[in-house]
Amino acid sequence: MSSEATDPRSSLTGAHADAEDLASASRQTSVYVYEVPVRLWHWINALAILTLCITGYFIGAPPPSMQISEATHQFVFGYIRFAHFAAGWILCIGFLGRIYWAIFGNHHARQLFYVPVWRGSFWREVFHEIKWYAFLTDAPKKYVGHNPLAQLAMFCFFTLGVTFMIVTGLALYSEGLGHDSTLFKMFGWVFGVFGDNPHYLHTYHHLGMWWIVIFMIIHIYVAIREDIMSRQSIVSTMISGHRTFKDDRPD
Listed by start position, the domains of the chain span 34-63+73-102, 114-239
CA distance 79 to 63: 12
Read off the pLDDT of each residue in 97-113 and give the average, rounded to a whole number: 93
CB atoms < 10 A from the CB of 97, how many?
15
23 contacts 239 by C-beta, under 8 angstroms: no
Helices (H), the chain: 17-27, 36-60, 76-104, 120-133, 148-153, 160-177, 182-187, 189-193, 198-229, 237-240
Residue 56's closest CA among 178, 204, 221, 226?
A: 204
Percent of the chain with pLDDT over 90: 59
Supply the angle between the helices 36-60 and 76-104 in degrees, to the nearest 10.
150
Q: Is the pLDDT of residue 96 over 90?
A: yes
How many Cβ atoms from other residues are within 10 Å of residue 44's Cβ?
Answer: 14
Claim: this prediction has a pTM higher than 0.85 = no
How many Cα atoms are found within 13 Å in the side-chain-facing hemisphere of 229? 15
Of 36, 5, 24, 2, whose CA–CA distance to 251 is shortest? Answer: 24
- How many C-beta atoms lie closer than 10 Å to residue 3's C-beta? 19
Summarize pLDDT for 72-89 with one digit per residue, the tens.
Answer: 667 888 899 999 999 999
Distance CA 26, CA 22 (A): 6
Beta bridge partners of 32: 242
Closest CA relative to residue 231, chosen from 167, 92, 137, 105: 137
Reported as a pLDDT band with limits 50, 70 and 90, residue 231 is confident
Q: Which residues lie across from 232 on neighbouring strands?
A: 245
Question: How do residues 176-226 score in pLDDT, each as one tens digit?
Answer: 899 999 999 999 999 999 887 888 999 999 999 999 999 999 999 999 998
Residue among 103, 111, 129, 99 nearest 14 (CA): 111
Q: Which of 40-54, 57-71, 229-243 has the lowest mean pLDDT?
A: 57-71
